[in-house]
Structure 1
Amino acid sequence: MPSHLSADRPAPQPPERDAVDVLINRTRRLRGDVEAVRRDAVLVDEDDPQLRWQRALCELAVHHLDNLGTHLGQLREGLPPRTAEQAREGTEGPQQDLAPENSGEPRSGSLLSRVGSAEWDLLTDEVTWSEELFQIFGRPLEAGPLSLDELPSVLLPEDQPLLTSLVTDCLVDGKPIDGEFRILRTDGRTRTLHMMGEPVLDADGCTASMWAVLRDVSELRRSQRVVRRTSDSFRRQQHMAQTEHRMAVELQEAVLPPWRGSLRLPRRGPGALDVAAHYLPSQSSDLIGGDWYDALELPDGRTLLSVGDLTGHGIPATSAMAMLLGALRGMAVAGIEPGALMGHLNQLLESSVQPALGSAVCCRFDPSTGTLAWAQAGHPAPLLFRDGAGRPLPPPDGVLLGAASAVTYEQDAVHLLPGDVLVLHTDGLTRRSDRGAGPDPLLALAPRFAGARTAQDCVRTVVEEFGDTERLDDACVLIARVGV
């Protein structure tokens, strides 16, 4: 409804009909594209907050495009006449909504059923409502329009002061109306209305009446609320994931050996091991896994070497790894043999509050004799490189930790020579497609290991070869070189 304030100015010319038709066609095509994306998003996992947020954004975009299309339709056609029977029955006029009938969206009618106009004459107390406004309020035509004094009665109580303030500012101070409030219809439904209006002045500059346009924006606001909720949920989940990742990293760094570069164990005497290790995170997950490596000088002068892997990711996996590694160190310092040690670790993991499965290899090296005693629990065997060639050590019997009760883990021994290189690693170090080849990708590095001067050089070779591969799980490698 045009403002009376513009009556003394030339009437604006309507846009060319062809130009508006072009805009309507473009809007329809864009709406169809967005609707196709929205239909695809309906099939996504309901538990994924990011995908729910994307779907909500698509629904909001559809509502905006519906509004744009119907406004353009009104611009092209103007207000077509509708009978009182059509208004009561809620039938559509000539200009239809852009939403397709099979879209599954709740139809709120054409633009005419969502936008209405009103004027309140302050001199005669006459009130004029368009038929569309009656439909928006769910009010029969025979009941007549609501006066400004009666209008707040259909608003929710918490929104009544806002409407009173908007009307007072308009009538007293001449301010334009621009605000939203919620009404409770006679059918029990709550609708959100956006009201825009301004005072109409008489020849003396006094307020003679107030006109307004009211638009039903319920579906639009519902979509916006869904977007906000899903966006907030997505941000909260991102924050929780980042926090968990940071805590898991800090826990892992606190538990794993603090040394960097090569480590000599034991620190004195002939035949000591030159030890280096490296942790390679997964490239398919942001969460830290339960992989570990460890090297420890024991009180009797021997050296403990171990690597292992627990199922799971995040804080549960790293906390279980910390528990297991702490127990392993304690039992090794107490002098328990690798085979018996594995049995105790199996009992510990089996009786844990959060049961998990794990694999591990535990080695004890005696520099005075060059003997390596070791045991394994469902883990890849250590690789021994000597004179430019490599081979896996024959594994003693041992099942996964936590998989069975009262299991006996066998122990084996091998004699190491000066210059030998021992490689301990967790599963998943090499590419996924190479797993079928067993240890062959690592054994192929034998010539390069033969030319390396330190264990750290060997670790660099492994990282150069496998550091950039797409691994599905975390991995770590520990390399020990027997000194001359």
Structure 2
Amino acid sequence: MPSHLSADRSAPQPPERDAVDALINRALLLRGDVDAVRRDTSVIDDDDPRLRWRRALCELAVHQLDDLGEHLGQLRDGVPTPRTADAEPSEDPRRATAVTPPVGSLLSRVGSAEWNLLTDEVDWSGELYQIFGRDPGKGALSLDELPSLLLAEDQPLLTSMVTDCLVDGRPIDGEFRILLPDGGMRTLHMMGEPVLDADGCTASMWAVLRDVSRLRRGQHILGRTQEALRRREQRAQAEHRMAVEFQEAVLPPRHGSVPASGRGTGGLDIAAHYLPSGARDLIGGDWYDALVLPDGRTMLTVGDLTGHGIQATSSMAMMLGALRGMAVAGVDPGALMGHLNQLIECSAQPALGSAVCCRFDPATGTLAWAQAGHPAPLLFRNGVGRPLPAPDGVLLGAASGVTYEQDHAALVPGDLLLLYTEGLTRHSNRGAGPELLLGLAPRLGQARTAQDCVRIVVEELGSAERLDDACVLAARVEA
């Protein structure tokens, strides 16, 4: 193919071979590192858009590094000549190539062309015939014929680029899609510029065309995974906001005294606090509640349903509503647990849950309570704490037809009752169990109000990294 350089331009000198070899080695090392990451992502779950996006990004990076390495190799070795000087001339010079590059390699995806405006001659490299899927025996396409292979919507773009180059002398740089004889489609990137004669007029136009179909497919896959990830994150954020609003609407305030109680109400001073998990996007099904009943007794409860998000908070709201209704109707704590178990069995969203329900009678100082697979309330008296002996009770939703035992405890003025969910003491860096709370007995014994007791618990355990959300409810028996 004639040189695209005009006679008054000097050819650029080739770069130093050692410098190019060094670049190739660096590209190969980087390619190996990226490929290792790609292999690690090949075993991931295809249902996760974030992981699919990572894999698509690795695939795209590997393809680009492959192209970079082959580009540098061609730069080092020089442009291959169509034939050696002593070789017999081909019958058709358009068929003569040095070595047919393997299909799919970089060299088979880059071709060159020159259109001579003075002689109407067209010169295509052998690679360009491969790119267009065209038989070299049919000859190269003229500038007038070339748009016929493009998709209809891309034809104006090519016409505009060629016109700008030939008329205004502007460089060519753009992409278009072609249809192959077998019905396939390829995306080509075309770069070129006009070749001027001695009088400064356009004598011909040369161009390099590169098949970027694989690159664009990788970018398209990456774009789709990014969009899927964006939609998923938006949906997760919306669900998180809904779950938080739902939870706040159902539960009493997370901080401060429970509104239905307070000092002098039902013989108890009550306060509660909700603590989110370390992963703040996980809103669980923990609840707490305190309710003064029509007969003057007070219902205290905490519980935890499995799951997170809207489903967990909606199930929690259903459970808490049922619990309040049965408590107001005078159902005893043991029977109440049995009804909650039946409610979960009949629910359209099966779940497992734990709960504890207490009913305090200020007239007698008696606490009636039952539990369903939940930590027992802690009783603190005179600076010493202990868990109440737990009556029998399995997790809610774990079995059918279960009977929940009910136990009683006598409370005296000054006693502190602490109800909590397991997430309060189950941390990534600390042990589990009531020992953490029982160790606070001396400090809790000096507290003057239920709110002070909650504050002590939160100061001690609230800042630790927790695996799940949690809540704590403190009730002090007043004189």
Q: Is the pair's TM-score, using the shorter chain for normalization, greater than 0.5?
A: yes
RMSD: 2.5
Distance 1:428 1:173 in 2: 73
Residue deviations 1:254-280 (CA, integer Å, cap 9, x gap): 111137323586557587211111112
Aligned to 1:277: 272
Is 1:108 aligned with 2:104? yes
Superposition deviation, residue 430 in structure 1: 0.9
After superposition, residues 83-232 of structure 1 pair within 5 angstroms as: 90-92=100-102, 108-109=104-105, 111-232=106-227
Residue deviations 1:114-139 (CA, integer Å, cap 9, x gap): 21111111222111111111121122
After superposition, residues 27-426 of structure 1 pair within 5 angstroms as: 27-82=27-82, 90-92=100-102, 108-109=104-105, 111-258=106-253, 260-263=255-258, 272-284=267-279, 286-426=281-421
Superposition deviation, residue 456 in structure 1: 1.7
Aligned to 1:97: none
Superposition deviation, residue 317 in structure 1: 0.4
1:23 to 1:113, Cα distance in 2 relative to 1, 3 A: same
Distance 2:254 2:426 in 1: 27
Residue 266 of structure 1 contacts residue 297 of structure 1 at CA under 8 Å; is this kept in 2?
yes
Q: Secondary structure at the match of 1:431?
A: coil
Residue deviations 1:192-227 (CA, integer Å, cap 9, x gap): 110112222333443322211111111111111121
1:87 to 1:376, Cα distance in 2 relative to 1, 3 A: farther
1:12 to 1:218, Cα distance in 2 relative to 1, 3 A: same
Q: Secondary structure at the match of 2:424?
A: coil
For 2:415, the aligned partner's letter is: D
Distance 1:311 1:407 in 2: 19
Structure 2 residue runs of 5 or longer lacking an equivalent are 84-93
For 2:456, the aligned partner's letter is: T
1:210 to 1:144, Cα distance in 2 relative to 1, 3 A: same
For 2:233, the aligned partner's letter is: Q
Aligned to 1:427: 422
Q: Secondary structure at the match of 2:274?
A: strand
For 2:128, the aligned partner's letter is: L
Residue 425 of structure 2 contacts residue 433 of structure 2 at CA under 8 Å; is this kept in 1?
no
1:476 to 1:176, Cα distance in 2 relative to 1, 3 A: same
Superposition deviation, residue 292 in structure 1: 0.2
Q: Secondary structure at the match of 1:399?
A: coil
Residue 293 of structure 1 contacts residue 476 of structure 1 at CA under 8 Å; is this kept in 2?
yes
Superposition deviation, residue 436 in structure 1: 7.7
1:291 to 1:354, Cα distance in 2 relative to 1, 3 A: same
1:231 to 1:163, Cα distance in 2 relative to 1, 3 A: same
Q: Secondary structure at the match of 2:175?
A: strand
Q: Secondary structure at the match of 1:442?
A: helix
Aligned to 1:98: none
TM-score where L is the length of structure 2: 0.91
Is 1:16 aligned with 2:16? yes
TM-score where L is the length of structure 1: 0.90
For 2:24, the aligned partner's letter is: I
For 2:9, the aligned partner's letter is: R
Distance 1:402 1:17 in 2: 74
Distance 1:55 1:259 in 2: 42
Distance 2:104 2:233 in 1: 36
Distance 2:212 2:149 in 1: 17
Distance 2:367 2:247 in 1: 27
Distance 2:169 2:384 in 1: 94
Percent of residue pairs bearing the same amino acid type: 75
Residue 360 of structure 2 contacts residue 368 of structure 2 at CA under 8 Å; is this kept in 1?
yes
Distance 2:167 2:246 in 1: 66
Q: How many residues align?
A: 469
Aligned to 1:447: 442
Aligned to 2:26: 26
Superposition deviation, residue 89 in structure 1: 8.9
Distance 2:60 2:233 in 1: 23
Residue deviations 1:310-346 (CA, integer Å, cap 9, x gap): 1111000001101111111122222222222222222
Superposition deviation, residue 88 in structure 1: 11
1:129 to 1:299, Cα distance in 2 relative to 1, 3 A: same
Q: Which moved more, 1:454-463 or 1:465-474?
A: 465-474
Distance 2:74 2:262 in 1: 88
Structure 1 residue runs of 5 or longer lacking an equivalent are 93-106
Distance 2:162 2:138 in 1: 23
Residue deviations 1:9-67 (CA, integer Å, cap 9, x gap): 33322222222222122212211221222122212222222222122222222222222
1:51 to 1:368, Cα distance in 2 relative to 1, 3 A: same
Q: Which moved more, 1:122-131 or 1:331-340?
A: 331-340
1:327 to 1:19, Cα distance in 2 relative to 1, 3 A: same
For 1:401, the aligned partner's letter is: L
